[in-house]
Structure 1
Amino acid sequence: MEATLLRFIRHLRHHGLEVSPAESLDAMRVAASLGYSDRSLLHAGLACSLAKSEEERIAFDQCFNRFFTLGERSEIVDETVASEEGDSPSSSPDDTDIPPMPGDSAEGEGSGGGGGSGLSMDALRAEVMQAANEVGLEKMEYPTQRGVYRRRILDALGDGEQRQAIAGLADGSPDDQQQAQWLSRLREARIEAVTEVIDRQLLLNNNAKGRSYQEELMRDSSIAAMDSYYRKRLPPLIRKLAKKLASRHRQRLHRAKRGKPDLGKTLRRNLAYGGVPFHRYFRNTRREKSEIYLLCDLSGSVSQWSEVLMLFVQALADVLPNARCFVFCGKSIEVSDIFRQYPEEEALAIIQRQHGMGGSDYGLALTSFRDQIADRLNRRSTVIVLGDGRGNGGNTGIDALRDIYHRARLVLWFNPESRNRWNTGDSEIRRYQTACHYVAECGSLRKLERLLDDLLNLIR
Structure 2
Amino acid sequence: MDNTLLQFIRHLRHHGLPVSTAETLDAMQVTAALGYSDPILLRDGLASCLAKTVDDNDTFALCFEQFFHLDHSQDASSSDSQAANTEQNLPSSEQANEGEGEVGDGDGQASGEGQGDSAMPGKGGGGGGGGQGSQTRAEVMRAAAEAGIENIQFRTQRGVFRRRILDVLGDKQRQIEIQALREAGNDERANWLEQIRDAQIAAVIDVINRQLLLNNDASSRAIRDDILQNSSLSAMESYHRERLPPLIRKLAKKLASRHRQRHRHARKGKLDLGKTLRRNIAYGGIPFHRFWKTTRKDKSEIFVLCDISGSVSAWSRVLLLFMQALSDVLPSTRCFVFCGRSIEVTDLFRQYPADEALAIVQQRHGLGSSDYGLALNTFRDQIADKLNRRSCVIILGDGRGNGGDTGIAALRDIYHRARLVLWFNPESQFSWNTGDSEIRRYQSAAHYVAECGSLRKLERLLDGLLSLLR
Give the alignment's TM-score, normalised by structure 1: 0.71
Matches within 5 A, 1:372-387: 372-387=382-397
> Is the alpha carbon distance of 1:358 and 1:215 closer, same or farther for their aligned partners in structure 2, counting shifts above 3 Å?
same
**CA-to-aligned-CA distance 1:304-344 (integer Å, 9 cap, x gap):** 11110011001111011111111111111111122122221
> Is the alpha carbon distance of 1:250 and 1:206 closer, same or farther for their aligned partners in structure 2, counting shifts above 3 Å?
farther
Matches within 5 A, 1:38-117: 50-53=50-53, 56=56, 60=60, 63=63, 67=67, 78-79=108-109, 81=111, 84-85=114-115, 93-94=122-123
> Contact 1:367–1:400 (CA<8 Å) still a contact in 2?
yes
- Structure 1 distance, partners of 2:305, 2:321, is 13
Matches within 5 A, 1:139-218: 139-141=151-153, 145=154, 147-153=155-161, 192-202=202-212, 204-205=214-215, 207-218=217-228
Letter in 1 for 2:384: A
- Structure 1 distance, partners of 2:316, 2:44, is 45
CA drift of 1:27 comes to 5.6
- Structure 1 distance, partners of 2:54, 2:363, is 35
- Structure 2 distance, partners of 1:125, 1:57, is 25
**CA-to-aligned-CA distance 1:267-319 (integer Å, 9 cap, x gap):** xxxxxxxxxxxxx9964311111111111111211111111001100111101
**CA-to-aligned-CA distance 1:405-453 (integer Å, 9 cap, x gap):** 0111111100111111111121111111111111111111011011111
> Is the alpha carbon distance of 1:259 and 1:323 closer, same or farther for their aligned partners in structure 2, counting shifts above 3 Å?
farther
CA drift of 1:193 comes to 4.0
Aligned partner of 2:17 in structure 1 is 17
- Structure 2 distance, partners of 1:3, 1:281, is 48
Indicate the larger mover: 339-348 or 197-206: 197-206
CA drift of 1:4 comes to 3.4
Helix, strand or coil for the counterpart of 1:261? Answer: coil
> Contact 1:299–1:357 (CA<8 Å) still a contact in 2?
yes
Aligned partner of 2:330 in structure 1 is 320
- Structure 1 distance, partners of 2:249, 2:325, is 6
> Contact 1:15–1:206 (CA<8 Å) still a contact in 2?
no
Residues 1:448 and 2:458 are matched in the alignment: yes
Aligned partner of 1:271 in structure 2 is none
> Is the alpha carbon distance of 1:332 and 1:380 closer, same or farther for their aligned partners in structure 2, counting shifts above 3 Å?
same
Aligned partner of 1:108 in structure 2 is none
Helix, strand or coil for the counterpart of 1:436? Answer: coil
Give the alignment's TM-score, normalised by structure 2: 0.70
CA drift of 1:57 comes to 5.7
Letter in 2 for 1:4: T
Letter in 1 for 2:122: P
> Contact 1:43–1:64 (CA<8 Å) still a contact in 2?
yes
- Structure 1 distance, partners of 2:402, 2:326, is 33
Helix, strand or coil for the counterpart of 1:385? Answer: strand
- Structure 2 distance, partners of 1:154, 1:185, is 18
- Structure 1 distance, partners of 2:201, 2:31, is 35
- Structure 1 distance, partners of 2:260, 2:363, is 34
> Is the alpha carbon distance of 1:404 and 1:262 closer, same or farther for their aligned partners in structure 2, counting shifts above 3 Å?
farther
Identity %: 61
**CA-to-aligned-CA distance 1:114-163 (integer Å, 9 cap, x gap):** xxxxxxxx89868976885576432235xxx3x323343456669xxxxx
Match of 1:228 among 238, 258, 276: 238
CA drift of 1:248 comes to 1.2
CA drift of 1:8 comes to 2.6
> Contact 1:299–1:359 (CA<8 Å) still a contact in 2?
yes
- Structure 2 distance, partners of 1:395, 1:154, is 71
Letter in 2 for 1:368: T
Helix, strand or coil for the counterpart of 1:423? Answer: coil
- Structure 2 distance, partners of 1:377, 1:57, is 42
- Structure 1 distance, partners of 2:210, 2:377, is 60
> Contact 1:131–1:153 (CA<8 Å) still a contact in 2?
no
> Contact 1:292–1:324 (CA<8 Å) still a contact in 2?
yes
Aligned partner of 1:274 in structure 2 is none
> Aligned-residue CA RMSD in angstroms?
4.3
Helix, strand or coil for the counterpart of 1:246? Answer: helix
> Is the alpha carbon distance of 1:62 and 1:401 closer, same or farther for their aligned partners in structure 2, counting shifts above 3 Å?
closer
**CA-to-aligned-CA distance 1:368-401 (integer Å, 9 cap, x gap):** 1111111111111111110111111111111000
- Structure 1 distance, partners of 2:114, 2:291, is 72
Letter in 1 for 2:269: K
**CA-to-aligned-CA distance 1:236-256 (integer Å, 9 cap, x gap):** 11011111111111122445x
Aligned partner of 2:270 in structure 1 is 261
Radius of gyration: which is bigger?
Answer: 1
Aligned partner of 2:85 in structure 1 is none
Letter in 2 for 1:138: E
> Is the alpha carbon distance of 1:126 and 1:428 closer, same or farther for their aligned partners in structure 2, counting shifts above 3 Å?
closer
- Structure 1 distance, partners of 2:11, 2:263, is 33
Letter in 2 for 1:376: K
- Structure 1 distance, partners of 2:297, 2:48, is 37
Aligned partner of 1:415 in structure 2 is 425
> Contact 1:381–1:409 (CA<8 Å) still a contact in 2?
yes
* Alignment gaps of 5+ in structure 2: 71-102, 127-133, 168-191, 273-289
Match of 2:363 among 333, 350, 353: 353
| Count of residues in correspondence between the two structures | 391
> Is the alpha carbon distance of 1:258 and 1:125 closer, same or farther for their aligned partners in structure 2, counting shifts above 3 Å?
closer
Residues 1:293 and 2:303 are matched in the alignment: yes
Letter in 2 for 1:137: I
> Contact 2:3–2:146 (CA<8 Å) still a contact in 1?
no
Aligned partner of 1:7 in structure 2 is 7
> Is the alpha carbon distance of 1:300 and 1:151 closer, same or farther for their aligned partners in structure 2, counting shifts above 3 Å?
same
* Alignment gaps of 5+ in structure 1: 98-121, 159-181, 264-279
Letter in 2 for 1:148: T
Residues 1:307 and 2:317 are matched in the alignment: yes
> Is the alpha carbon distance of 1:126 and 1:35 closer, same or farther for their aligned partners in structure 2, counting shifts above 3 Å?
closer
